[in-house]
Amino acid sequence: MKVVDYKAELQNELQDLAQKNKKIGFVPTMGALHKGHISLIKKSVSENDITVVSVFVNPNQFNDKNDLKNYPRFIDKDVELIKNAGCDFVFTPSVKEIYPKEDNRIFDFGDLNKVMEGKQRNGHFNGVAQVVSKLFNIVKPDVAYFGRKDFQQYVIIKKMVKMLNMSIEIVDCPIVRETDGLAMSSRNLHLTDIQRNNSSLISKTLFKARNLTNKLSVKELKDWVVDAINENPFLDVEYFDIVDDLELKSISNWQENNNKVGCIAVKVGKIRLIDNVNFNL
Ligand code: AMP
């Protein structure tokens, strides 16, 4: 496996391989890797000739400068994990390499980035689109892998690829969870032991909620989830919504003919955790 810091070097290597008709899979990450990330890398390795993983903490997607400063960074450990997963190239660019000059592009995703995470984190998805579009232009993958853990991000990246006429297949991968159900996240590292233990209530409540769709209306079920989690003194729900998986519009009844996803954000002290489950009946 090669570790590459410069886009020109990576492009040289990949151009040769693309000319030989090698299928290139790509997994963008911000590092601090866990089994969730590794599952994406392994999927790419099993489905492509060549896998590229990027590790880049993208300043443009952080609306909270403290969050950026405190974002966990373990590059040596990450490189070891990526190598063990069978990857071929790790791209570890500097901020200057990705943004030699300021990126002022504004993406119009319609309502997709005005709801849920987009509403809570102003400019976040625009920053995500800036970096992912740049990385796509450098790597030129055939396929790129995204976790359903960040469900809204996955939907927005699919839209971005369409808007920019990029011929890249976007593949979604299931959420990898800890044994007690908590969705794996680099942010879990910041939780104290007691916060960590109480956080498992988030996924437990979402799983229980899936069994209540024949007893409660959409509105009643949403209230039930929020109340059940907020009863815990360590947890504070920012939002919970059940949306369709294409337009991310709130659904109003269970009979609607679309795929439904229940998305939640919860504050645990200063840490924000997100999770989601399918509500397909
Ligand atoms: P990040 O490093 O947080 O930007 O995440 C990189 C990729 O890993 C994104 O596509 C995430 O959705 C995905 N990811 C993060 N956590 C998980 C998880 N627990 N299960 C599956 N995918 C995940």
| C-alpha span between 190 and 181 (Å, rounded) | 18
CA of 233: how far to CAs of 122, 190, 228, 237, in Å?
A: 27, 18, 11, 11
| C-alpha span between 21 and 25 (Å, rounded) | 13
pLDDT given for residue 280 in this prediction: 85
Strand pairing category for 271-278 and 260-268: antiparallel
Residue owning the nearest CA to atom 12 of ligand 1? 147
| C-alpha span between 246 and 25 (Å, rounded) | 24
pLDDT given for residue 81 in this prediction: 98
| C-alpha span between 267 and 270 (Å, rounded) | 6
pLDDT per residue as tens, the chain (281 positions) = 999 999 999 999 999 999 999 999 999 999 999 999 999 999 999 999 999 999 999 999 998 889 899 999 999 999 999 999 999 999 999 999 999 999 999 999 999 999 999 999 999 999 999 999 999 999 999 999 999 999 999 999 999 999 999 999 999 999 999 999 999 999 999 999 999 999 999 999 999 999 999 999 999 999 999 999 999 999 999 999 999 999 999 999 999 989 999 999 999 999 999 999 999 87
b (16+ CB within 10 A) / e for 3-24: ebeebeebbebbeebbeeeeeb
All domains of the chain in start order, with CATH? 2-173 (3.40.50.620), 186-275 (3.30.1300.10)
Which atom belonging to ligand 1 lies closest to the Cα atom of 31?
A: 2
| C-alpha span between 26 and 56 (Å, rounded) | 13
Please indicate whether residue 124 is annotated as part of the active site: no
Alpha carbon 27 to chain centroid distance?
11
CA of 121: how far to CAs of 186, 244, 272, in Å?
A: 18, 21, 11
**If DSSP codes are grouped into helix, strand and coil, which group holds residue 141?**
coil
Active-site hit among 34, 37, 124, 190: 37
Which atom belonging to ligand 1 lies closest to the Cα atom of 28?
A: 6
Residues in the chain: 281
Give the distance (Å) from ligand 1 centre to CA of residue 189: 14
Give the distance (Å) from ligand 1 centre to CA of residue 216: 32
- Residue whose CB lies within 8 A of the most ligand 1 atoms, among 26, 29, 37, for a mutation test: 37
| C-alpha span between 43 and 257 (Å, rounded) | 30
Q: Which of 132, 124, 67, 54 is nearest to 94 (CA)?
A: 54
| C-alpha span between 274 and 84 (Å, rounded) | 28
Kindly give the interhelix angle for 193-210 and 218-230, rounded to the nearest 10 degrees.
160
Give the distance (Å) from ligand 1 centre to CA of residue 183: 10
pLDDT given for residue 76 in this prediction: 97
Amino acid at 64: D
Which atom belonging to ligand 1 lies closest to the Cα atom of 146?
A: 10
Ligand 1 site, CB within 6 A = 29-30, 36-37, 39-40, 146-147, 149-150, 173, 175-176, 183-186
| C-alpha span between 74 and 57 (Å, rounded) | 11
User: Two tokens at 173?
Assistant: 């991968």
